[in-house]
Amino acid sequence: MAKIIDGKMISQQIKDELKEKAAKLKEQGKTGALAVIQVGEDPASSVYVRNKKNACAYIGIESLAYELPNETTEAELLALIDELNGKSQVKGILVQLPLPGHISEDAVIRAISPKKDVDGFHPQSVGAMTIGEPGFLSCTPAGIIQLLKRSGVEIAGKHCVIIGRSNIVGKPMALLMLRENATVTITHSKTSNLQEICRQADILIVAMGRPQFIGAEYVKEGAVVIDVGIHRDANKKLCGDVKYTEVEPIASAITPVPGGVGPMTIAMLMNNCVQSIEEG
Ligand code: GUN
């Protein structure tokens, strides 16, 4: 029987700590707002954006919502970012991805001031993380580190295998695990002996984006399994990249979907916002 890593509970703990910290900062006259920009009406994005605004309200940070039509041009979006970069009260700028096809995500990410890059996606933020300098950390990987630490999982010296090499999860995850002194292997869609490598993992982090792909045959007895995937199965129920019922009896600890990694992303976004307010 695996220990269930409760992301809902841990994210709540973090949000309560941040609420207290934000209140203390307010007493010192340190406040600030998060600007949340959504272009178009992608339903999943609308849910994420609403959750982010609700989290700000809970913690006591102002949020400024910019809901722009799908036809917004790249130039218009870049002009808005430029304006927000110049507003001292705006401490964080978040542009919800994905963007409509006519807008370059890369150009938008680069336009956000690294001082306000609470998503941690700007190349300067990524570079700072790579060499261990201060800067905003990418929220999902930072949330996974918190899940592991707050669940008492030892990271140093452990072999961590990551499935997936995206800029948002896989690559930054590898760097953060390395920073925690894990031995890290990154695997991806072209890896030829995936099962064999995964079976060597003490900590297996699955961010491949394929519903219920990882079964018991990929998991070593006693491994810690972190599932970053989120999908709907044939019955419209939420599920991850891992076959939970099959893997749970083998693992020593595992994250459920929902209620595992998901809630941590927003908690770490709030952490970045409070950090930005603190740094002024
Ligand atoms: N779309 C999916 N995940 C994210 C995220 O963490 N940040 C932003 N800005 N967009 C996303």
3-state DSSP assignment of residue 177: helix
Reported confidence tier of residue 270, pLDDT bands at 50, 70, 90: very high
Residue 21 domain flag: no
The confidence score (pLDDT) of residue 129 equals 97
Distance 120 CA to ligand 1 centre (A): 10
Say if ligand 1 is within 6 A of residue 139 CB.
yes
CATH code (residue 154): 3.40.50.720
Reported confidence tier of residue 14, pLDDT bands at 50, 70, 90: very high
Rounded to whole angstroms, how far apart are CA atoms 36 and 57? 13
Question: Is residue 234 domain-shared with residue 192, that is, in the same domain?
Answer: yes
Residue 177 domain flag: yes
Distance 39 CA to ligand 1 centre (A): 13
Q: Is the pLDDT of residue 70 over 90?
A: yes
Residue 145 domain flag: yes
User: pLDDT tens, 198-249?
Assistant: 999 999 999 999 999 999 999 999 999 999 999 999 999 999 999 999 999 9
Q: Is the pLDDT of residue 145 over 90?
A: yes
Q: Specify the residue with its C-alpha closest to ligand 1, atom 1.
A: 97
Q: Specify the residue with its C-alpha closest to ligand 1, atom 8.
A: 96
Q: Which atom of ligand 1 is nearest to the CA of 95?
A: 9
Question: Is residue 215 domain-shared with residue 244, that is, in the same domain?
Answer: yes
Question: Is residue 105 domain-shared with residue 199, that is, in the same domain?
Answer: no
Residue type, 235: N
Question: Is residue 152 domain-shared with residue 79, that is, in the same domain?
Answer: no
Question: Do residues 215 and 221 touch, judged by C-beta distance below 8 A?
Answer: no
Residue 240 domain flag: yes
Q: Which range marks the domain in which residue 230 is found?
A: 139-262
Rounded to whole angstroms, how far apart are CA atoms 213 and 140? 20
Residue 128 domain flag: no
User: pLDDT tens, 161-208?
Assistant: 999 999 999 999 999 999 999 999 999 999 999 999 999 999 999 999
What average pLDDT does the segment 91-101 reach? 98
How many domains does the structure of the chain reveal?
Answer: 2
Nearest-5° Cα angle at 41, 170 to 115: 50
The confidence score (pLDDT) of residue 38 equals 98
Which residue, of 51, 86, 119, is where some domain finishes?
A: 119
Measured over the CA atoms of residue 155, residue 159, residue 163 and residue 167, the dihedral's sign is positive
Active site residues: 52, 96, 119
What average pLDDT does the segment 102-113 reach? 98
Question: Is residue 115 domain-shared with residue 165, that is, in the same domain?
Answer: no
Question: Is residue 85 domain-shared with residue 50, that is, in the same domain?
Answer: yes
Task: Identify the CA nearest to 214 among candidates 190, 240, 232, 249.
Answer: 240
Q: What is the mean pLDDT of the chain?
A: 98
Residue type, 271: N
The confidence score (pLDDT) of residue 1 equals 83
**Burial (0-12, 13-18, 19+ Cβ within 10 Å), 62:** middle
Question: Is residue 79 domain-shared with residue 107, that is, in the same domain?
Answer: yes
Is the peptide bond prior to 98 cis by the omega test (within 30 degrees of 0)?
yes
Question: Do residues 235 and 205 touch, judged by C-beta distance below 8 A?
Answer: no
Q: Specify the residue with its C-alpha closest to ligand 1, atom 4.
A: 97
Question: Is residue 158 domain-shared with residue 245, that is, in the same domain?
Answer: yes
Question: Is residue 145 domain-shared with residue 86, that is, in the same domain?
Answer: no
Q: Is the pLDDT of residue 114 over 90?
A: yes
Q: Which atom of ligand 1 is nearest to the CA of 265?
A: 6
What average pLDDT does the segment 37-42 reach? 96
Residue 47 domain flag: yes
Question: Is residue 162 domain-shared with residue 217, that is, in the same domain?
Answer: yes
Reported confidence tier of residue 37, pLDDT bands at 50, 70, 90: very high
Distance 121 CA to ligand 1 centre (A): 9
Q: Which atom of ligand 1 is nearest to the CA of 140?
A: 6
Of the chain, the percentage scoring pLDDT greater than 90 comes to 99
Q: Are strands 224-227 and 203-206 parallel, antiparallel or unpaired?
A: parallel
**Conformation bin of residue 163: beta by default, left when phi > 0, alpha when psi is -120 to 50:** beta
Tokens matching residue 70: 């799908």
Q: Specify the residue with its C-alpha closest to ligand 1, atom 9.
A: 96
Helix (H) or strand (E) holding 4: strand 3-4
Question: Is residue 55 domain-shared with residue 145, that is, in the same domain?
Answer: no
Residue 101 domain flag: yes
Say if ligand 1 is within 6 A of residue 97 CB.
yes
Q: Is the pLDDT of residue 251 over 90?
A: yes
Residue 270 domain flag: no
Distance 97 CA to ligand 1 centre (A): 5
